[in-house]
Chain A
């Protein structure tokens, strides 16, 4: 869904961010500035110090371990089950009503319950993220596979392909664009749930760093952690889009650029 502006107006894109940074820098230097107005330069310095001391990497790694673990489990289950359900009617009749019922329900409501079940450590967060990621990946994979052009399936059948061959050589490749849409929504959701869970209760991780900094009124530290969170969310999304382009480029020249 990328929408490109014409080239000679590109510079306008920088206006608002630069204006905001300048306003913050200027506002933070005033006498009557509230304490949470921290100069962007100060934030950059703190971020640099945190990175140099290794503290930032420790928390970022703790966060990433959880989010990637949860994302991998949830996405594997969601994509796998979604694709299999598309070709097995009894399985689909069982899972489809359950998933469409639970899809609009905010799964994070279960977070306190998961914490009492699995403790304050990694397990409760990984489970919560996996659950949240499962739904968009399942639904997109299932409907992606269901909307595969029937003629391709008929053609394959006509040429004597077995059911397994049809599944792996026709259905799965043809549903990839939609599968990637599901993975992208799941990835974004995994970070929201992760940082929320770390803010609610955790001993480390970037979400916890934000809360610790807030409690000790170290606003520069808080902003640095927030910037770290933003960079992680942004970086992983771009990495997934690059992967999508690489995988889809050969099969769907039109689809790959899209999104």
Chain B
């Protein structure tokens, strides 16, 4: 607010964003070595790095990460494939909206995770029950944002398109969809971290594969450095996926800058 932006080099800007992270890491290391907290519960970063390296080399982390990633991405991709068309239909077709809108607005705040045991009975303990729950959890923000985005496209764009003789098909693909894309994308961006949360949780509840299982198994067998190594891999995965989505957005919606995280 009312602060003039200082002109600073890119390098200085980067440095300023790295320093806080370094401060936290150093604080962790000092706490771990100080003896105030149990060094077993809060192991030194060196031990965590060693565990990470060992578990990476043995292929253990790659195995579990691949399981988690494929589940999270399948559920997420399904939700996008179903959710975007459903949202568009709700925004454009009256009876569709009347039929589905109450389900999505009432179901939105309900914690879907409670249905997991049911999914396990219907689909088994493996990947299908987890993918189904991820799909369900991601569907809500995608449908609601798509519907909202399509609905808030300015009428004058549609009128202009009709005026210039565009058919229904062209209006949809060249006017409606691009105009709604920014809002559709913010729904998708809300859904992706949800997919990661749900995959980790369901793997903790019951499985023998996936990073959620790896973390809870390592910590239950007192291998805390390994547990933290697993947390680090989950963190890197969540962060990278989000960056990739932002990069994709910049390519697809090149005419508008991505909003900050708050959306």
Contact = CB atoms under 8 A, between A and B. Distances in A.
Interface of A: 1-6, 9-17, 34-36, 86-87, 89, 93-95, 97-98, 100-106, 108-113, 115-117, 139-140, 142-146, 148, 150, 153-154, 157, 171, 178, 181-182, 187-188, 191-192, 194-196, 199-200, 206-207, 210-211, 214, 222-223, 225-226, 229-230, 233-234, 236-238
12 contacts: A87-B1, A94-B20, A94-B23, A105-B239, A109-B212, A143-B261, A144-B262, A146-B1, A182-B262, A188-B111, A195-B111, A237-B108
Nearest to B218: A112
B11 interface: no
Bin the interface of chain B by size: 35 or more
Select the residue from A3, A103, A146, A187 with max chain B CB neighbours within 10 A.
Answer: A3
Given A104-B193, A233-B111, 18 more contacts: A1-B144, A3-B91, A13-B98, A13-B99, A36-B118, A36-B122, A106-B238, A108-B201, A111-B204, A181-B262, A187-B109, A192-B197, A196-B205, A199-B113, A210-B117, A211-B117, A222-B117, A225-B114
B258 interface: no
Nearest to A207: B114
Nearest to A226: B114
A171 B1 contact: yes
A46 B131 CA distance: 30
B99 A12 contact: yes
B114 to A, nearest CB: 4
Contact of A109 (B95, B100, B215): B215
Nearest to A20: B103
Interface string B82-114: 000000001100110111111101101111011
Given A106-B200, A207-B114, A226-B114, A116 B41 contact: yes
A12 B98 contact: yes
Interface stretch (B53-61, B155-163, B168-176, B222-230): B222-230
A145 B100 CA distance: 35
B148 A1 contact: yes
B98 A10 contact: yes
Contacts of B23: 94
B114 A230 contact: yes
